[in-house]
Amino acid sequence: MIIKFHWWNVTKYIYSSLEHVMANSEDYSERLHVWEGWRRETGKKMRPLYEDYVDLKNEASKLNGFKDYGAYWRYNYETIDEDPLYRYTGDELMADVRTIMPLYKELHAYVRARLMEVYKGDIDAEGPLPAHLLGDMWGRFWTNLYRLSIPYPDKPDIDVSKTMVDKGWTELQFFEEAEKFFMSVGLYEMFPNFWNNSMLTKPTDGRNVVCHPTAWDMGNREDFRIKMCTKVTMDDFLTVHHEMGHNQYQMAYRNLTYLLRDGANEGFHEAVGEIMSLSAATPKHLQSLGLLAPDFAYDEQTEINFLLKQALTIVATLPFTYMLEEWRWQVFEGNIPKDEWMKQWWEMKRELVGVAEPYPRDETYCDPPALFHVSGDYSFIRYFTRTIYQFQFQKALCDAANHTGALSTCDITNSKEAGTKLREMLELGRSQSWTKALHTISGDTRMDARPLLDYFQKLHDWLKADNAKHNRMVGWNPEISPYLKNQIKVRLSLKAALGDDAYPWNDNEMYLFKANVAYALRQYYAQWNISHSFTSEDVVTTPWTPRISFYLMVKNPETLNELIPKDVVVAAIRLSRARINDAFQLDDQTLEFEGIIPTLASPVKQPVEVWLVVFGVVMGIVVLLGAYLIFSGIRERKKKPAKATVENPYDETAEGQTNKAFEEGDDEQTGF
């Protein structure tokens, strides 16, 4: 299925056709078409707006006493307390990233290997993952990769989406079951306004709405709502628990003064929603709802399947979140200039996340605002901190519920003890620092990734063993591109060719180079009466090195999301090689296209003097004539009968005379 993009309808279809393609398609080109089209129709058009946004947000932040907008966001986590136990600075925020990366890299290696089986020839075994193959439009969650990477596919499916549909579950039923869960632990029944005023499914009256799930506190202590275009899937079932978790937090602190009606920090609010999802996702809870068979057995292989599914949602998103926010902070701080936004965005993505752009970018793009949270002015670090908090919360609540066994099997349903512990923390709202609120529920005063690592320990061990068994590289080489197979390396030797007359290589020369390559492509297709409007903008080059080398590739001007295959570009350059050389006063040795043999260049001839040619011809004739005479004489002698050889022809004695010519006679003759 190919979708034509138009700015006025792309938003309308993002939660239908486009989302469906990115969740389900296994067609590399179709996914690339959607991925690139979305960024061209959103990010590119938002580029000037986002540049203004950065300037204005920084200006407003400085007026409020912050050095930039990133510092303003980080202030949400800073605490000032006389007791150093509860004091916290924004510099501590990313301390847990390093502890999570070993688990992430093992997961990355496993997923890469499984995707290589689906997209044969399109993924390098040691390279980053192409960004458009990760299960959604942004590669934020890898949940939809589960069906492609399930370790033990013969085990019962723990993604119960199909069972929900088969059993006739409705969207409304999701919210009713979530409410039952909250009430079972002693939290709140939803207020009547929730059921009357929420938008729980996509309107069918033709209205265009933003479908991104959100929870709302209308500020009057009795009206709490959700806006969501719910679908009957397991993913949305868990999202409902998450969003209603926000509402539970809002209802818990509703009696505080208005300014204190908020989470202890933004990450707390997200974490509260997530701990509800952790219990709702367990096979035990799903079995209690009749979504897994009564005889369902939770054995070791099923546990690995479950943990992998959880990791694709939870672990895979952590480097994504960290890298996105780090890039924004650097942009707000001015450390990344505007003319390098995309360059450094994808360099960081490759280095930190192991994900690469599947199509060349330039500075006309602006990929980050293609994500709802970025264009919507949301701080994103909350999604990193919430993941750490949620497992600290979960461990504390499971301990309160007297859970025994692995943390991943804990379901706090019906535990009033766990609910009481949670409610005590929720009711604090923002009246206490988050370090004190965290201490209330878990006894900790700092973020700690150990509960998260404990939750996934069995999976981590399994991934290490499986990757080692199959000799997979753990990690990635950030220099490898998904489009590497279509790149051609170019080297120029201006000094060697022109000496002191060498001209400098600059942007103008690169423009001329691109124009020449575009000309070559036009000429190539013209052979078959095919008209392609190649321009210099279709020719993509990487930044050149000081010794003047760079990589070249060519976009397809007709589709705008495909690269011209390397073999076609090679053929076009060979066809116009002499014209390209002449444009730069170079030859095949000083303008080198790596891997392209100069078959169409004129033969190289050494200068030859004319007299040498004549002399050679004459000497050849003499030698041949001499040989002829020698061999013909030998042949004639062989034909005569054998007789005595006489050296002097006048020395004849047949008639008793030595030589008749000299007989004695009357006349004397004298000779000289």
- C-alpha 545/C-alpha 243 separation (Å) is 50
Amino acid at residue number 664 = E
pLDDT at 97 (0 to 100): 84
Binding positions: 77, 242, 246, 270, 382
> What sign results for the dihedral spanned by CA atoms 465, 468, 469, 475?
positive
pLDDT at 17 (0 to 100): 82
- The tens digit of pLDDT for each residue in 235-288 reads 999 999 999 999 999 999 999 999 999 999 999 999 998 998 999 999 999 999
pLDDT at 670 (0 to 100): 37
Lowest mean pLDDT among 68-82, 440-454, 465-479, 569-583: 68-82
* Residues in Cβ contact with 28 at an 8 Å cutoff, skipping those fewer than 6 apart: 119, 122, 133
Q: Based on the residue annotation, tell me whether 132 is a catalytic residue of this protein.
A: no
| Closest to 182 (Cα-Cα) out of 234, 224, 229 | 224
pLDDT at 21 (0 to 100): 93
Query: 221 with 255: CB under 8 angstroms?
Result: yes
Q: Supply 632's token pair.
A: 């013909």
Overall average pLDDT of the 65-89 stretch: 90
| Interhelix angle 234-252/266-280, nearest 10 degrees | 130
pLDDT band at 13 (very low <50, low <70, confident <90, very high): very low
Catalytic residue, from 108, 241, 269, 373: name it.
373
Query: 249 with 375: CB under 8 angstroms?
Result: no
- C-alpha 245/C-alpha 225 separation (Å) is 11
Binding positions for chloride: 77, 382
Q: Which residue has the higher pLDDT, 220 or 597?
A: 220
Q: Supply 536's token pair.
A: 């210099």
pLDDT at 8 (0 to 100): 32
CB atoms within 10 A of CB 307: 23
Residue 640, pLDDT > 90, answer: no
- C-alpha 435/C-alpha 77 separation (Å) is 9
Query: If you compute the radius of gyration of the chain from its CA atoms, what whole number of angstroms results?
Result: 41
CB atoms within 10 A of CB 177: 16
Overall average pLDDT of the 173-200 stretch: 97
Q: Based on the residue annotation, tell me whether 655 is a catalytic residue of this protein.
A: no
pLDDT at 650 (0 to 100): 47
Q: Which residue has the higher pLDDT, 619 or 465?
A: 465
pLDDT at 10 (0 to 100): 43
pLDDT at 604 (0 to 100): 47
Percent of the chain with pLDDT over 70: 87
CB burial of 625-642 (b: ≥16 within 10 Å; e: otherwise) equals eeeeeeeeeeeeeeeeee
Indicate the helix (H) or strand (E) that contains 492.
Answer: strand 488-492
pLDDT band at 631 (very low <50, low <70, confident <90, very high): low
- The tens digit of pLDDT for each residue in 399-451 reads 999 999 999 999 999 999 999 999 999 999 999 999 999 999 999 999 999 99
- C-alpha 609/C-alpha 361 separation (Å) is 57
Q: Supply 338's token pair.
A: 């505007």
Lowest mean pLDDT among 73-82, 501-510, 662-671: 662-671
Catalytic residue, from 243, 266, 274, 325: name it.
243
pLDDT band at 648 (very low <50, low <70, confident <90, very high): low
Q: Contacts by 420-427 with C-beta closer than 8 Å and gap 24+?
A: 420/186, 421/396, 421/397, 422/185, 422/187, 422/272, 422/275, 422/393, 422/397, 423/186, 423/187, 423/252, 425/264, 426/248, 426/249, 426/252, 426/253, 426/272, 427/252, 427/253
Indicate the DSSP class of residue 18: I
- The tens digit of pLDDT for each residue in 210-221 reads 888 999 999 999
- C-alpha 257/C-alpha 134 separation (Å) is 44
Tell me the backbone φ, ψ of residue 538, rounded to 5 degrees.
-85, -10
Please list the helix, strand and coil fractions of the chain in percent, rounded to the nearest 5, in that order: 55, 5, 40
Residue 665, pLDDT > 60, answer: no
pLDDT at 668 (0 to 100): 44
pLDDT at 9 (0 to 100): 42
- C-alpha 641/C-alpha 643 separation (Å) is 6
Tell me the pLDDT of the chain averaged across its residues.
89
CB atoms within 10 A of CB 556: 16
- The tens digit of pLDDT for each residue in 107-129 reads 999 999 999 999 999 999 999 99
